[in-house]
Structure 1
Amino acid sequence: MYNILLLVSIIAVIQSKLKVIRPSNLINEKIDYSIANFGIIPFGHRLMGAVDLAYPPNGCDELTPTYGAQFIMIERGDCTFVTKVRNAERAGYQLAIIGNYNDDPIKSDFAMADDGHGYQVSIPSIFITNKHFTLIRERAKVNRVEDSNDEKIMLLLKFDVVKSDNLSVIFGLNIQDRESFRIIDEYEPYYTQLKDQNINYTLVYSIMSFNNEVDGVQQPNSDCICQNKYCAFDPDGAAIGTGRDVVYEVLRQLCIFELHQQKWFAYMNQFNFKCTKSQAYSVCSQQVMDILEIPKNEIQQCFDTSFLDVQTNQQTRNESNAYNYRLDHQLYIYKAAGINGFPSVHVNSLAYRGQFSGSGIFGEICNSFQTTPSQCSSQVEGYTPPVIDDSIALYILVITASVVFFLLVGFFIFRKVIERDSKVVTQPQVNEMVSQYIKFYEGKDKQKESGSI
């Protein structure tokens, strides 16, 4: 199942395009771009607008406010990407387009980095090659936004998603980074809303594999387990905690997610606030499981059975000669899915870009459904409720009419049967009572006649 899920998540590749829709001589120009790793990205939606040039060109200082344009062209350099885009937003623009120094192909894993202040930015921004930046800039110089002619530059941009009926969502997490816990906490209510949808969730934790050998002898490392096959960074430097504590906790969380997915979200929230010392992860984890009524024996069994002997592939407690198939799978997905940092989210193989938030991830997931569920109505552009096919509607109408007809016929027959039974049962009784009544009065009349004589 793991391998099938992985194939689903890495097969598709998206090449997004920025399309020129005016002027006419540039209509067929399609431009590759990369999305910034900050700002709010409207996945599945389109943006269309006129283009203006930034002044100052590098966008590092306050920009001249927009004069009817929605997109702004900004040169790279002299300040951070976040600074440029924040200035563009303050000037009233809806999208910032930043040009590179050169014409190197835009790689799918490249993203304009967040300088730590990306949370202050709401608009999206993209990165394009110098060739296309220059092409658009030169045309925009000739045909300004404020000009009345119809030759001003107009661009169309769609923030593509990979659509399918069965979604694959990968969460890349680092338990030493509180940002990972924040994202999971924010996404939990949306997970609950979508729990009945066909979504396969996979966790990928920040671990690594070292191979420190001297003369063919593996050197032990306190931040690793299984002869340095699975390692994590030392969480507290010279203090007591080690990367080994982190790796063991990763394995526990994988088991909790595998066996009790709904409770895993609550576990992550509790663990974040209660378990702050890595050397105490094991004890603290047990306490959190008790609070949430997660069966500790199940989790421990899952934990233990994932260690297998290198030679026999049988369960073993000797970690020095073992591998862990769950952690092996973690390393495999990390490499195959192209995860470049933590935290991260991939929906149908497409990396989530922009400001990390539970609602943002929910929006990308909603727009990735081939058939949009009703829970996503507020997130999908042009959403319409499912319409019943005419043939199905006619079928339902016929069935309903037939049921009503048979109910009426049944009621009529039932009524006739009751009336007939009533006559059969009550008529003789009535006749007998009438006869007795007549006899009673005839008897009284005879008594009167006898008395008078």
Structure 2
Amino acid sequence: MLFLVSLIGIVYSTQLTLVEPSLTIPSTKNASMPVNVADFGYVPYGRTVGGNLTYVENTCNPLNITLNSNIVLTMGATCKFLAQAMNVQSAGGKMLVIIYNHEEDISNFLLIAEYGSQQSFIPTMMINKADGEFLIEKLESMTIYAQVSFELKQQEIVDLQYFLSSFDVLSYLFLDEFLPFAKQMINKITFDPIYIQFYCKECEKTGYKATNQNCISGGRYCGQDPDQNGPLTGRDVILEDLRQICILQKYDLITWWNYMILFNELCFNNYQECPSKIMKSISINETIVNDCMTSSFVGKNTLLDDNTILKEQRYKIMRNHQVYWPSLYINGEFYKGDLYLNNADESTVFDVDDFAVLEAICDGFLDDSRPTLCNATGFFSIKDGELQDCKYNQFIFQKQVP
């Protein structure tokens, strides 16, 4: 399922540039127009994609043409964006540009795909209606070569902000798959998990003086009920968020990560005593964590008093205008494209170059500070949470690759 989410406040810097001929676009007064890159498929960060523009009126059905690596321009339609991208990809197109068929500014929307869209290997994006109509008119009388550069801000140390929820299964999938790579670049990245939360509007009207089963702090911080009619509530979600933040504050990143992996494996079906057992199994002092949680409240009443840690989390959410999860920011820029690493596990041999999110993170490094992993090529496997180079492990390589 694909849907548009209103996301007012985020500005996207990626642009489609008309290279040959270099036409002046009326809306921008230069040869470039803004694009809104879809949050699915392959986004080739660090690279430039170029080709001749080809207008195809309808991409909802399989195309009976050969596109020869052209960039397809099409009008917005009632079918799913992913279906359009797959049809263009199957016909040999290298990129899909969809013209938004309403007058609103495309920067106010986010094109989201649910997990499972990894079969799309071309970037998809949207342009404003006026810009699209300008291109359609020009294509009637000329050939236009266009290109899009997918760039990220580069730094010596890459900053990663990951938006998640402690009771969201997909939030853990990225953590599970990315951990072996994170270990290889642990001294080259900062990783800041930010836990999505809500607030009770009715509670705000009464000055946060009433309790709510899905909230703490009088309704300032709330979570979604994870099991509906089951024993858990949104309050359990928020308190688990707080516990996980305290583990990260009191221990190192890998210890937090190990807790997260075990929580995902063991706690969803039997939560009540699970966090305590996990902490004990990986030498986390539960008293230290509980003291961190308790001291983060400004008073002794956790149901009504404000919480300093969650207040800071709320600020980070609002600063990034974040509306859905899981999602990733790289060096302060919102990452577009598939977040998952194709379920890489101990039975999988894979090529690191195929993983768009890893490629994007690597593109966030300055050239002289890139970790060794970012310059690696060839096949890898994962064993016991560690990367294995299949070039030196013929058994794994031969077993998995026909």
Compute the TM-score of the two structures, normalised by the length of structure 1: 0.72
Q: Decide whether the 8 Å contact of 2:164 with 2:193 is kept in 1.
A: yes
Counterpart AA for 1:58: N
**CA displacement at 1:320 relative to structure 2:** 4.2
1:344 aligns with 2:344: no
Could you say which residue in structure 2 is the equivalent of 1:186? 177
1:227 aligns with 2:218: yes
Structure having the higher Rg: 1
- Residues 174 and 153 of structure 1: is their aligned pair in 2 closer, same or farther, counting only changes over 3 Å? same
Counterpart AA for 2:130: K
Could you say which residue in structure 1 is the equivalent of 2:372? 375
Could you say which residue in structure 2 is the equivalent of 1:318? 301
Q: Decide whether the 8 Å contact of 1:14 with 1:350 is kept in 2.
A: no
Could you say which residue in structure 2 is the equivalent of 1:409? none
Q: Decide whether the 8 Å contact of 1:229 with 1:323 is kept in 2.
A: yes
1:137 aligns with 2:136: yes
Could you say which residue in structure 1 is the equivalent of 2:345? none
Give, in whole Å, the separation in 2 of the partners of 1:120 and 1:290: 41
Counterpart AA for 2:285: P
Among candidates 194, 202, 226, match of residue 192 of structure 2:
202
Could you say which residue in structure 2 is the equivalent of 1:434? none
Could you say which residue in structure 2 is the equivalent of 1:387? none
Q: Decide whether the 8 Å contact of 1:74 with 1:84 is kept in 2.
A: no
Counterpart AA for 1:209: Y
Among candidates 17, 20, 39, match of residue 19 of structure 1:
17
Q: Aligned-pair RMSD on alpha carbons? A: 2.4
- Residues 222 and 115 of structure 1: is their aligned pair in 2 closer, same or farther, counting only changes over 3 Å? closer
Q: Which range moved further: 327-336 or 296-305?
A: 296-305
- What per-residue deviation string (whole Å, max 9, x for no partner) do you get for residues 193-237 of structure 1? 11121x322111121222434876833211111211211111111
Give, in whole Å, the separation in 1 of the partners of 2:208 and 2:255: 42
Q: Decide whether the 8 Å contact of 1:14 with 1:160 is kept in 2.
A: no
The secondary structure found in structure 1 opposite 2:16 is: strand
Give, in whole Å, the separation in 2 of the partners of 1:286 and 1:169: 28
**CA displacement at 1:91 relative to structure 2:** 0.8
Give, in whole Å, the separation in 1 of the partners of 2:337 and 2:214: 32
The secondary structure found in structure 2 opposite 1:188 is: helix
Q: Decide whether the 8 Å contact of 2:198 with 2:221 is kept in 1.
A: yes
Superposition map of 1:300-315 within 5 A: 300-309=290-299
- Residues 191 and 290 of structure 1: is their aligned pair in 2 closer, same or farther, counting only changes over 3 Å? same
Among candidates 39, 44, 52, match of residue 41 of structure 2:
39
Give, in whole Å, the separation in 2 of the partners of 1:88 and 1:53: 11
Which residues of structure 1 form unaligned runs of 5+?
1-11, 144-151, 310-316, 381-453
Equivalent residue pairs, number: 348
Could you say which residue in structure 1 is the equivalent of 2:106? 106
Give, in whole Å, the separation in 2 of the partners of 1:229 and 1:84: 42
The secondary structure found in structure 2 opposite 1:98 is: strand
- Residues 221 and 355 of structure 1: is their aligned pair in 2 closer, same or farther, counting only changes over 3 Å? same
Q: Decide whether the 8 Å contact of 1:76 with 1:100 is kept in 2.
A: yes
The secondary structure found in structure 1 opposite 2:275 is: helix
Give, in whole Å, the separation in 2 of the partners of 1:282 and 1:337: 33
Among candidates 20, 29, 32, match of residue 30 of structure 1:
32
Could you say which residue in structure 1 is the equivalent of 2:161? 170
Could you say which residue in structure 2 is the equivalent of 1:266? 258
1:361 aligns with 2:361: no
**CA displacement at 1:294 relative to structure 2:** 2.1
Compute the TM-score of the two structures, normalised by the length of structure 2: 0.80
Give, in whole Å, the separation in 2 of the partners of 1:369 and 1:156: 23
Q: Decide whether the 8 Å contact of 2:75 with 2:99 is kept in 1.
A: yes
Q: Decide whether the 8 Å contact of 1:85 with 1:125 is kept in 2.
A: yes
**CA displacement at 1:15 relative to structure 2:** 1.6
Give, in whole Å, the separation in 1 of the partners of 2:89 and 2:113: 16
Q: Decide whether the 8 Å contact of 1:13 with 1:349 is kept in 2.
A: no
- Residues 337 and 267 of structure 1: is their aligned pair in 2 closer, same or farther, counting only changes over 3 Å? same
The secondary structure found in structure 1 opposite 2:311 is: helix
- Residues 379 and 138 of structure 1: is their aligned pair in 2 closer, same or farther, counting only changes over 3 Å? farther
Give, in whole Å, the separation in 2 of the partners of 1:337 and 1:217: 25
Among candidates 286, 289, 295, match of residue 296 of structure 1:
286
Q: Decide whether the 8 Å contact of 1:13 with 1:350 is kept in 2.
A: no
- Residues 35 and 376 of structure 1: is their aligned pair in 2 closer, same or farther, counting only changes over 3 Å? farther
Q: Decide whether the 8 Å contact of 2:156 with 2:366 is kept in 1.
A: yes
Superposition map of 1:74-153 within 5 A: 74-107=74-107, 110-114=109-113, 118-143=117-142, 152-153=143-144
Overall identity of the aligned pairs, in %: 25
The secondary structure found in structure 2 opposite 1:227 is: helix
Give, in whole Å, the separation in 2 of the partners of 1:88 and 1:50: 14
1:156 aligns with 2:147: yes
The secondary structure found in structure 2 opposite 1:323 is: coil
Could you say which residue in structure 1 is the equivalent of 2:400? none
The secondary structure found in structure 2 opposite 1:77 is: coil
Which residues of structure 2 form unaligned runs of 5+?
1-9, 342-354, 378-402
Could you say which residue in structure 1 is the equivalent of 2:389? none
Q: Decide whether the 8 Å contact of 2:208 with 2:304 is kept in 1.
A: no
Give, in whole Å, the separation in 2 of the partners of 1:132 and 1:375: 42
Could you say which residue in structure 1 is the equivalent of 2:52? 50
Superposition map of 1:360-439 within 5 A: 360-371=356-367, 372-378=369-375
The secondary structure found in structure 1 opposite 2:112 is: coil
In terms of fraction of residues, the more helix-rich structure is 1
The secondary structure found in structure 1 opposite 2:328 is: strand
Could you say which residue in structure 2 is the equivalent of 1:438? none
